[in-house]
């Protein structure tokens, strides 16, 4: 593990100052997940101690929530592929799936960082409807929630993995 968290490593190149916290969170999500899941067996990836979500769910959900919330931030609706990915987040994984899932999260973080670099800070307060109900949010609301929600699942993943290892 690095000696410092991402927010203590300085600015992320090309990301507007106001969006630096979003970039830092996304990078911390990726790094933390890599550390937490590296030693897991396939069985551990699928375990649901006390009925909680599996590590596989959490990692898939992190990538998915970043993708979905950044889609809403652009003012777009979810695609059929995004809805299908959401539905598949709870599916068990095989040994062949693990590298793909880890790579998908890393790639999603890279896409999100690239997108942050293109955002005009003057548009952060613009309305964005979320979901089919078009619940009210803003560009920055969607971006922050995407990163924050992913980090929330890092915490859940960490606890779940500790319980699995203790069992």
- With a pLDDT cut of 90, the percent of the chain lying above it is 97
Q: How many domains does the chain have?
A: 1
Asked whether residue 1 carries a pLDDT value surpassing 80, the answer given is no
The answer to whether residue 119 is domain-embedded is yes
pTM as predicted: 0.95
**Domain for residue 40, yes or no?**
yes
In a domain, residue 6? The reply is no
Tell me which residue range forms the domain holding 137: 16-166
Residue 110, pLDDT above cutoff 70: yes
Instruction: Give the Å distances, CA to CA, from 160 to 35, 58, 145.
Output: 14, 10, 22
Q: 120-152, pLDDT tens digit by residue?
A: 999 999 999 999 999 999 999 999 999 999 999
Is position 72 within any domain?
A: yes
Looking at residues 99-125, what average pLDDT do you find?
A: 98
Domain-embedded: residue 78:
yes
pLDDT for residue 3 = 83
Task: Name the pLDDT band for 96 (thresholds 50, 70, 90).
Answer: very high
Q: Check which CATH number belongs to the domain holding 50 and give it.
A: 1.20.120.450
128 secondary structure, DSSP code: E
pLDDT for 126 equals 98
State the pLDDT at residue 167: 85
Count other Cβ atoms within 10 Å, centred on residue 97: 17
Mean pLDDT confidence for 56-79? 98
Which class for 111: exposed (0-12), middle (13-18), buried (19 or more C-beta within 10 A)? Answer: middle
**pLDDT score recorded for residue 45:** 97
Strand segments (E) across 38-99: none
């Amino acid at each position: 593990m690095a000696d410092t968290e991402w927010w203590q490593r300085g600015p992320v190149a090309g990301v507007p100052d106001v969006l630096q916290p979003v970039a830092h969170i996304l990078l911390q999500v990726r790094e933390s997940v890599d550390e937490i899941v590296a030693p897991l067996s396939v069985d551990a990836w699928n375990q649901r101690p006390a009925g909680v979500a599996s590590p596989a769910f959490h990692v898939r959900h992190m990538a998915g929530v970043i993708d979905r919330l950044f889609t809403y931030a652009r003012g777009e609706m979810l695609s059929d592929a995004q809805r299908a990915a959401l539905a598949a987040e709870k599916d068990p994984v095989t040994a062949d799936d693990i590298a793909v899932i880890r790579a998908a999260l890393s790639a999603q973080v890279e896409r999100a960082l690239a997108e942050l670099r293109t955002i005009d800070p003057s548009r952060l307060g613009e309305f964005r409807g979320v979901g089919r109900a078009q619940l009210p949010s803003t560009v920055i609301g969607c971006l922050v929630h995407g990163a924050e929600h992913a980090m929330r699942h890092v915490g859940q993943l960490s606890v779940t993995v500790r319980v699995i290892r203790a069992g």
